[in-house]
Chains A and B, each alone.
Chain A
Amino acid sequence: MKLTLKIWRQKNAQAKGQMVTYPIDGIDGDMSFLEMMDVLNNELINKGEEPVVFDHDCREGICGSCSMFINGEAHGPDRLVTTCQLHMRKFKDGDTITIEPWRAAGFPVIKDLMVDRSSFDRIQHAGGFISINTSGNTQDANAIPIEKIDADAAFDAATCIGCGACVASCKNSSAMLFVSAKVSQFALLPQGQVEATDRVLNMVKQMDEEGFGNCTNTGACEVECPKGISLENIARMNREYLAASLKG
Chain B
Amino acid sequence: MSGLLKSSIGRKVAMALSGLFLVVFLTQHFVINSTAVLAPELFNTWSHFMGTNGLVQFGLQPVLIFGVVFHFIMGFALELQNRKARPVKYASYKGGAAAPWTSRNMIISGLVILAFLGLHFYDFWIPEMIHKYVETHPEDPTRYYAETVHKFENPVRVGLYVLSFVLLALHLWHGFASSFQSVGFNNKFSVALSKFAKVWSVAIPVGFIIIAVYLHFNQIPH
Contact = CB atoms under 8 A, between A and B. Distances in A.
A binds B: yes
Interface of A: 6, 8, 19, 69, 71-73, 77, 98, 100, 103-106, 109, 169, 171-174, 176, 204-205, 207-208, 211-220, 223-224, 231-232, 234-239, 241-242, 245-246, 248
B222 interface: no
B67 to A, nearest CB: 20
Contact of B183 (A213, A238, A245): A238
B95 A220 contact: yes
Interface residues of B, number: 41
A238 B90 contact: no
B100 A218 contact: yes
Given A72-B90, A248-B1, 17 more contacts: A19-B91, A69-B92, A98-B91, A103-B88, A103-B89, A171-B99, A204-B9, A207-B8, A211-B84, A213-B8, A215-B182, A218-B100, A218-B104, A235-B184, A238-B184, A239-B184, A241-B7
Contacts of B85: 104-106, 172-174, 211-213
Contact of B92 (A72, A105, A213): A72
Nearest to A207: B8
Interface stretch (B10-18, B50-58, B114-122): B10-18
Contacts of B97: 72-73, 77, 223
Contacts of A212: 8, 85
B8 A204 contact: yes
Given A71-B92, A98-B92, A173-B86, A236 B104 contact: no
Contacts of A216: 82, 103-104, 106, 178
A132 to B, nearest CB: 27
A186 to B, nearest CB: 17
A72 B18 CA distance: 34
B18 to A, nearest CB: 15
Contact of A105 (B87, B100, B178): B87
Contacts of A205: 3, 7
Given A173-B86, A208-B7, A214-B78, A234 B181 contact: yes
Interface in B93-107: 93-95, 97-100, 103-104, 106
B185 interface: yes
A171 B82 contact: yes
Nearest to B186: A235
Interface of B: 1, 3-4, 6-13, 78, 81-82, 84-95, 97-100, 103-104, 106, 174, 178, 181-186
A199 to B, nearest CB: 14
Contacts of A207: 8
A72 B8 contact: no
B90 A105 contact: no
B170 to A, nearest CB: 14
30 contacts: A69-B90, A73-B94, A98-B92, A100-B91, A103-B89, A105-B87, A109-B88, A169-B98, A171-B95, A171-B99, A172-B85, A174-B8, A212-B8, A213-B8, A214-B78, A214-B82, A216-B178, A218-B100, A218-B104, A219-B103, A220-B95, A220-B98, A220-B99, A224-B98, A231-B186, A236-B186, A238-B182, A239-B184, A242-B13, A245-B10
B94 A71 contact: yes
Given A19-B91, A204-B7, A213 B86 contact: yes
Contacts of A19: 91
Sort A-B residue pairs by CB-CB distance and give the 3 closest, nearest first. Answer: A213-B85, A235-B186, A72-B94
Given A105-B85, A211-B85, A217 B174 contact: yes
Given A217-B182, A231-B186, A245-B1, A105 B91 contact: no
B81 A213 contact: yes
A196 to B, nearest CB: 14
A215 B12 contact: yes
A169 B12 CA distance: 19
A245 B43 CA distance: 45
